[in-house]
Structure 1
Amino acid sequence: MLPGLLLFVSAMGSLLGADSTAGRKLHYVTVLFRHGDRSPVKAYPTDPYQENAWPQGFGQLSREGMRQHLELGRFLRTRYRGFLNDSYVRHEISVRSTDYDRTLMSAEANLAGLYPPSDEQLFSPDLKWQPIPVHTVPKSEEKLLSFPLGDCPRYEELMNQTELTQEFLNVTAANKDIIALVKNQTGLNKTSVDTVWGVYDTLFCESRHNMTAPAWVTPSVMEKLRFLKDFGFRVVFGVYKQQEKSRLQGGMLLGEIVKNLSNAAVSTDKQRLKMMMLSAHDTTVAALQASLNVFNGRQPPYASCHMIELYMEENGSASVSMFYRNDSREDPYALQLPGCSMDCPLEDFIRITKLSISDDREQECRLPSGASNKEVIITLAASGCLLLFLVVVLFISIIRHREPPGGRGYRHVINQDGGEES
């Protein structure tokens, strides 16, 4: 009973803002959230609802998604009242998003709830909103918020090895009927354990927007697809060699967060940054939580929010607390970094997370020199055969062009124009 009570007190103290315990002051916060409700990213071939069925097309934030993030922004305003200024101050918050309409718009809706303009910030009497900058980089340059990154041969090898694990093979065998059903009903050429989640996503989006499902989509089918969808997230970031996968994926973001925590802990600037807000995707939240080893194995829902809070003690020491909000009807629940206390000393947080952060990702992404990569072997074999063929052709050509004593063999002949031909 006592541990549960302590957890409750800790969570409620943080929920109330900057003063969770006497002498312990909130100093810096990172919030990472998934975008809000959206239209499907794509439709399967036999889907009765193609892109023209959606007002703004595929992958776009819906009005419900806008409302979800307005609500989340208002929650953050309540949670961090007394820590963040009541009105927007550019030195206090930095906002970054992936370069997708739905994440950019989610950040903007969130900021509308976090910073409702005060009188002096109203620039139009009939508009209770103010523009706040949201930064991004082109999709081709995104290395911090979009996972899994597709530029890492070693990660691809780990994924191939994951599909040979007993767990993956067991799940495939146990779900072969539903995988075959999806292939037959959707018109897709290929389906597998780690790809049918896309069909679930499409059907889920349609159900949330009151679109009638095809007859083959029963509650039992949806439940099985939901299981495979969650398993797909685990496959991408865990199941096999999770920590190494984290070093090549979510550890990129974790490393940046740890660096910011370390810098914030020694900052005494009155105009210092107080909050880093990151607007991204379900895979981003899962990648970060997997690298922290706190991922619950389920797809992060719309507008779910992972909060990492840095506190300073009166004696100058720093500690880190984490919370996850995945249901707007419930208070966020505390996340405990394995191997550390609930309020984890910053030096311990840095030491433990270092195992999931790569110092040289480019080097770690290279395939081991002794790796028996099938594609490499095939390429080398094909190159060897081609080289052998060229050597044989060159050898035959030399033999044919050598004229032996006695004049037998090919000769140069003089054509009628006085030129040579062979």
Structure 2
Amino acid sequence: MRAVKTSINSSSQVSTPVVNKEFHFYGSPIKIPIEASIQWPNHDISTLKLLQVIHKHGERSPMSWTPNDPYHDIKYWPEGLGELTAKGKYQMYKIGQFIRNEYKTYFGDNISPRDVYARSAASSRSSESCSALLAGAFPPTQQQWQWDVGNDTQLAHVWQPIAIETFLPEKDDLVCNEARHCKAVNDETTRIYSQSVVKEFEAKYKDLYDKLTKGVGSKIDDIWSAFDLYDTLSAELDNNYFWDKTWTKNEETDFVKQLYYSALNGQKWDYDSPIIKQLRTGGLVNETNGNFQKVVDNKNTKKIYIYSTYGAHVSALMQALNVFDDVIPPNGATLLFELHTKDKSSDYFVRIFYLNSGSPQPGTPVPLIFKDCNNQTDCKLEKYFQSNQHLLFKESQFDTLCKN
């Protein structure tokens, strides 16, 4: 996925999202249930053997501004550009609480920090999101994990440090990021955006782009510039920052709704190629496959693996696994990969649940259908491995596959 630029000027067409899905902005907050057993009553974890969590960071401030942006001032964004907001921290903490509440019988009462593996992209918003999720999921409820040895630190009774791994330099991370230089990806991206279907889409929205160009003071003339503007405006709307001197609230809201389709198509086209899917998601798929295999080989030492990443990476992964729901992953979007066995046997199968604001019941994860596994929600592990085999590569093969 093309990284969001620091300046706005910097195959097949996507279908319009189905009408029964509630429209939401890019950063719409996820509603988290107070009591998991009420919100997810039919969730069976009696045969669960491993949980893996892959999530987008929480709400963040804009990545860039256009010249006429009335909120082009850091006073409106004390966190800094592209950083996790207070709402984003709260959001991720509540998701952590949800995970702990829903999986409490799986985790047990004596779960140790050593039972948890966490890895994050190196950005502040990703690592802080992971930290907040961990704080909500794994408070030190047992005395042995409470570190108030001086009897003067209340924090020690509600929070414990849990290690988070990362990879530097971030641009070379193949697990939680997708920005490593790759000529093959760049060539495919150029080919995709040269297609007539893209040009026709941009022509269809030319009037909108021209109108926005006059308002924002920067040229909006293609999918990418529209995507960046959508990203900025939706982040501002999430914080009730409207361009009152430029548009009415209804006008601005309508502009963002129209820009959404440029952003959605862009996120689809960014990965509309087998080689792009492989080289941008294969590292993460290989990692999660390896964790499942550890369970099969009786070599696993963790209860949960957590990967904190970006919305583009979550979208790319869902597209690569053929479970994408044609909705841009909102802030805090969380994939729950479960490995189960049937009837206490060694017959392993995978389920994936998706916690996002587009769920039929807000706050309730929805099961994803494996299109490559006979449209089932339970996919035998062997079949699951077979369905994503084409995505895998060794790190030593990356430059060769990329034709760098």
Partner of 1:344: 379
Partner of 1:275: 304
Between the aligned partners of 2:271 and 2:187, the Cα distance in structure 1 is 13
Partner of 1:362: 399
* Structure 1 residues 296 and 254: CA distance shift in structure 2, 3 A: same
Deviation for aligned residue 1:119: 4.9
Deviation for aligned residue 1:294: 1.1
One-letter amino acid of the structure 2 residue matched with residue 70 of structure 1: Y
Deviation for aligned residue 1:332: 0.8
One-letter amino acid of the structure 2 residue matched with residue 218 of structure 1: E
Between the aligned partners of 2:377 and 2:72, the Cα distance in structure 1 is 47
Partner of 2:340: 311
Between the aligned partners of 2:109 and 2:193, the Cα distance in structure 1 is 51
Deviation for aligned residue 1:189: 4.9
Deviation for aligned residue 1:86: 3.0
Partner of 2:113: 90
Aligned residue runs from structure 1 range 47-196, under 5 A: 47-52=69-74, 53-120=76-143, 121-124=145-148, 125-127=153-155, 128-138=158-168, 139-147=170-178, 149-189=179-219, 191-196=221-226
Between the aligned partners of 2:193 and 2:130, the Cα distance in structure 1 is 36
Partner of 2:285: 254
Between the aligned partners of 1:29 and 1:51, the Cα distance in structure 2 is 42
CA deviation map 1:223-258 (0-9, x unaligned):
1111111111111112xx3x2221121122112211
Between the aligned partners of 1:284 and 1:85, the Cα distance in structure 2 is 31
For the Cα contact (< 8 Å) 2:209–2:220, is it kept in 1? no
For the Cα contact (< 8 Å) 2:206–2:221, is it kept in 1? no
Between the aligned partners of 1:283 and 1:254, the Cα distance in structure 2 is 15
One-letter amino acid of the structure 1 residue matched with residue 363 of structure 2: E
Between the aligned partners of 2:239 and 2:215, the Cα distance in structure 1 is 21
* Structure 1 residues 51 and 133: CA distance shift in structure 2, 3 A: farther
Partner of 2:9: none
Between the aligned partners of 1:188 and 1:150, the Cα distance in structure 2 is 29
Using the TM superposition, name which of 307-316 and 260-269 deviates more: 260-269
Residue 30 of structure 1 aligns to a residue in which SS? strand
Partner of 1:389: none
Between the aligned partners of 2:109 and 2:89, the Cα distance in structure 1 is 22
* Structure 1 residues 86 and 248: CA distance shift in structure 2, 3 A: same
Residue 196 of structure 1 aligns to a residue in which SS? helix
CA deviation map 1:188-234 (0-9, x unaligned):
25641123211111111111112222524533211111111111111
Residue 351 of structure 1 aligns to a residue in which SS? helix
Residue 214 of structure 2 aligns to a residue in which SS? helix
Partner of 1:38: 60
Partner of 1:237: 271
Residue 319 of structure 1 aligns to a residue in which SS? strand
- Segments of 5+ residues of structure 1 without an aligned counterpart are 1-10, 20-24, 368-422
For the Cα contact (< 8 Å) 1:254–1:291, is it kept in 2? no
For the Cα contact (< 8 Å) 1:231–1:297, is it kept in 2? no
* Structure 1 residues 212 and 319: CA distance shift in structure 2, 3 A: same
Partner of 2:233: 203
CA deviation map 1:305-340 (0-9, x unaligned):
011111123231211111111038231111122231
Pick 1 or 2: higher relative contact order, CA cutoff 8 A, min separation 6: 2
For the Cα contact (< 8 Å) 1:77–1:114, is it kept in 2? yes
One-letter amino acid of the structure 2 residue matched with residue 123 of structure 1: W
* Structure 1 residues 117 and 221: CA distance shift in structure 2, 3 A: same
For the Cα contact (< 8 Å) 1:195–1:232, is it kept in 2? no
Residue 321 of structure 1 aligns to a residue in which SS? strand
* Structure 1 residues 193 and 140: CA distance shift in structure 2, 3 A: closer
TM-score (norm 2): 0.80
Between the aligned partners of 1:358 and 1:264, the Cα distance in structure 2 is 21
One-letter amino acid of the structure 2 residue matched with residue 322 of structure 1: I
TM-score (norm 1): 0.77
Between the aligned partners of 1:221 and 1:91, the Cα distance in structure 2 is 48
Deviation for aligned residue 1:156: 0.9
Q: In the comparison of the two structures, how many residue pairs are matched?
A: 345
Partner of 2:350: 320
One-letter amino acid of the structure 1 residue matched with residue 270 of structure 2: V
Partner of 2:8: none
One-letter amino acid of the structure 2 residue matched with residue 84 of structure 1: F
Deviation for aligned residue 1:150: 4.4
For the Cα contact (< 8 Å) 2:171–2:180, is it kept in 1? no
Alignment identity in percent? 24
Residue 90 of structure 2 aligns to a residue in which SS? helix
Residue 91 of structure 1 aligns to a residue in which SS? helix
For the Cα contact (< 8 Å) 2:58–2:84, is it kept in 1? yes
Using the TM superposition, name which of 293-302 and 179-188 deviates more: 179-188
* Structure 1 residues 166 and 357: CA distance shift in structure 2, 3 A: farther
Aligned residue runs from structure 1 range 17-28, under 5 A: 18-19=45-46, 25-28=47-50
Which structure would you say has the larger Rg? 1
Using the TM superposition, name which of 82-91 and 297-306 deviates more: 82-91
- Segments of 5+ residues of structure 2 without an aligned counterpart are 1-38
Deviation for aligned residue 1:14: 6.8
